[in-house]
Amino acid sequence: MSEQTPSPQPTLNVSEVVALQDRIVEKMRTCYDPEIPVNIYDLGLIYDVKVETTGHVHVKMTLTSPGCPVAGTLPGEVEDKITVIPGVKEAKIEIVWDPPWDKNMMSEAAKLQLGFL
């Protein structure tokens, strides 16, 4: 009979999860695609941020195109910035291509900054 690894115990309450998610979004707003002067969050590259009560974070993000020059480094930069936030135990960054990114996913502020409004 094999031993089962105990599942991680919750360490955060609901308000702490919400506050942690806000800090994560704030930190992601410091990441930029070097070719576009807008942060990746307002650019619409972050599709989902899920924070567990255990402090585990899962981010679904995309890139502006599959051939994006920062495809090999940007996800790691996002992970590095998230994992140093107090309360985060682990961060997993998943690159997804569905739905494909387009300029309609940008925030109004990003569209204005890039001249799309």
Sketch out the chain's domains with CATH numbers: 14-98 (3.30.300.130)
Inter-residue contact 96 to 62 (CB < 8 Å) = yes
The pLDDT assigned to 7 comes to: 62
Q: Mind giving me the DSSP string for 69-98?
A: TTTTTHHHHHHHHHHTSTT--EEEEEE--S
How far apart are the C-alpha atoms of 61 and 2, rounded to whole Å?
Answer: 37
**Is pLDDT of 112 > 90?**
yes
What's the whole-model pTM score?
Answer: 0.87
With bands split at pLDDT 50, 70 and 90, how would you rate the model's confidence at 5? low
Query: How large is the C-alpha radius of gyration of the chain?
Result: 16
How far apart are the C-alpha atoms of 4 and 7, rounded to whole Å?
Answer: 9
